[in-house]
Amino acid sequence: MISRILIGISAAIILFLGGTHLVYTAFTPKLNPAEAQLEIVMRRTPMRISAETTMWRAWIGFNFSHSLGLILFSLVFGYLVICRWEVLHTSNFLGILGLLVLLVYVVLARVFWFRAPFIGVCCAMLVYVAGFFSRFH
């Protein structure tokens, strides 16, 4: 039972982070460049791969897809915890997959992001690890 609660808490943390990121992307300027001139340049600069988009549109799209990835991860694992615990509880593949995804987010947060998401994904991963290994007791 404790493993189920811990993995559920981990999924909830990731859902919070993904939801917050989605709100920041869609409804606030928090993810916009602090330097206004950079945003102007991004809005008019095409990408090298294709002139069909700009760096700004790609930036917004990347942020939305990142948010959706976090939300998808949390909804899948949350669903498994609530509705299909026996599947998650007995599947080493799913358990290790969840751990690897969280580990990648920890590395990304450490290398590319800032302190708040790093702390958030570290907490989610630590709680997940505790839940994953408590399955065996």
**pLDDT tens profile 5-17:** 999 999 999 999 9
Report yes or no on 10 lying in a domain: yes
pLDDT digits over 11-70, tens only? Answer: 999 999 999 999 999 999 999 999 999 999 999 999 999 889 999 999 999 999 999 999
Domain span at residue 122 reads 2-26+66-134
Report yes or no on 45 lying in a domain: no
Give CA 36 to chain center in angstroms: 27
Report yes or no on 56 lying in a domain: no
- How many domains does the structure of the chain reveal? 1
49: which DSSP letter?
A: S
Report yes or no on 82 lying in a domain: yes
Rounded Cα gap, residues 110 and 117, in angstroms: 9
Report yes or no on 73 lying in a domain: yes
Find tokens 């949390």 and name the residue.
Answer: 74
Report yes or no on 101 lying in a domain: yes
H helix runs in 54-135, sequence order? 55-83, 85-90, 92-112, 115-134
